[in-house]
Structure 1
């Protein structure tokens, strides 16, 4: 009898503890909160980071699948030169105006995020290429500006933390990030709404003159749909029944190619097909030039937004960064005009447009 009473007491004690936990947190806001775990993942108490980065993958499945992944990679990978190759740094020198070696070192390190000391050119290439990757993938890149000031109020270090735009909302200029129950459970933190002041945010959107975020999402979604099947299900069903329904795989493949070509016409993507099986040589060259103009337009826009952030109220470096000898959108317009006039060569059209 005594043993039975002890067992019952333990049982009621567990119920009491569970009820008390629920009463203290009825909405389960802190059920999964483990501050030490979150600090271990890189967000400690020694910086002013506000934003939360979920461990849960909420990305659409079509962003990196088949044809859509090729589109993303082809559009961003050639946007900046690769500084590891001999002579590239000399050909595309990066600079800060007015010249300030100390500021240049801080800016370069913040742009790159590498652990070792980085030159300004490397930092610019890293940041612009990474941002372009996000733009062609999501249509928008939103960063929180994390910084550290010295006693004189000058920025001595900083970084741009890419924020997950799912669950991120903007009201009256400021940003509010909603950490859901699923996010809190996956990342061992609490359910919350985080306010991020607008001055701490660098927002870069895919250029509106190129169609904006909606255009990117439309291309990725449709190219993913078209790339899911090499042979459509209705033909597979017919083959299983040994029926001939007159399906022509060549016509089917060409139809998919033409639809994606139409979707990406203004962006110039050639679907990694350099032959002229579907279009004339003139239009093949024209599409290549269109892609180069897109690269230049996106790059110039990122440079503009970056300089605004570096000289905003938070960082306030008082300096502009740039890189010489990069082709511009205007340069490509001149080459398109030459192509239409018909008195130019392939070398003249594409000299200094590939890194």
Structure 2
């Protein structure tokens, strides 16, 4: 069965105690355990230098883990297997297309190298181009198509070899914001349609939420939290995850009634904005930004900045005194974090 028939043909993936230390004792990745069932899309999310790409390279076979680490496809240890024999597909930020080839030639290149008969190769390329919406551009040179179209060519080329695991290293980061937003939806749909086991690396939170079945949030060479997008957003395990994923407010516990913690975290949607005296926290409006369906307020609460969302038609102006009430069910209570929480 081929990818184009929409049947899961990817491998289950297991990573066991896989770490990476570079010369000089620089630890890029702490010993890591990870399991993906066949057909799952996992997003590695985190700031630059947190170990995302290093983990991807270990799975690909572009780098070897430290002694004792292992990578398994369908339960078979491939740690010592070179990349060309692992049957992994890769899509990079640069796409790495062959500029002297047409769209169809690029997609079929891997099949040609593997000795696929010409008729079968052309049929498979045709099916793939139809699925990614590029059938009409099969004979066009890749240097005459748009950035979004090149991204789809790179994806089709990677899928053409029927990889056990598909690895994507920030494939949308070189695109402008509007195109990136559209293509993240297209990419998520295509990956699920092909049902390939995939690992997608990004530092873009919205991209991670749109594409991943699960998200692994990374920092300092380790996975801090692994879960569904809903889990990561609604139930962060520590201040770093809480602050890195989405917009998060933070107040000292002494300002929040009933809290004995040093820090209380909450999303803008957990805040109810009322007239002065209606809620337990007094605030003043510092800024109000119109976003169409809602208005994002920036508020000063005893010298602390809080962001809250209100209906766009509410008559709130900069300088207004207001009160705030917090939804207790959506508060995240943590002890005072040690060290920084805003990056690697």
The question of a shared fold, defined as TM-score above 0.5 by the shorter chain, is answered with no
Q: TM-score range by the shorter chain?
A: under 0.3
For CA contacts below 8 A with separation 6 or more, give which structure has more relative contact order: 1
Q: Which has the higher helix share?
A: 1
TM-score by length of 2: 0.26
Q: Which has the higher strand share?
A: 2
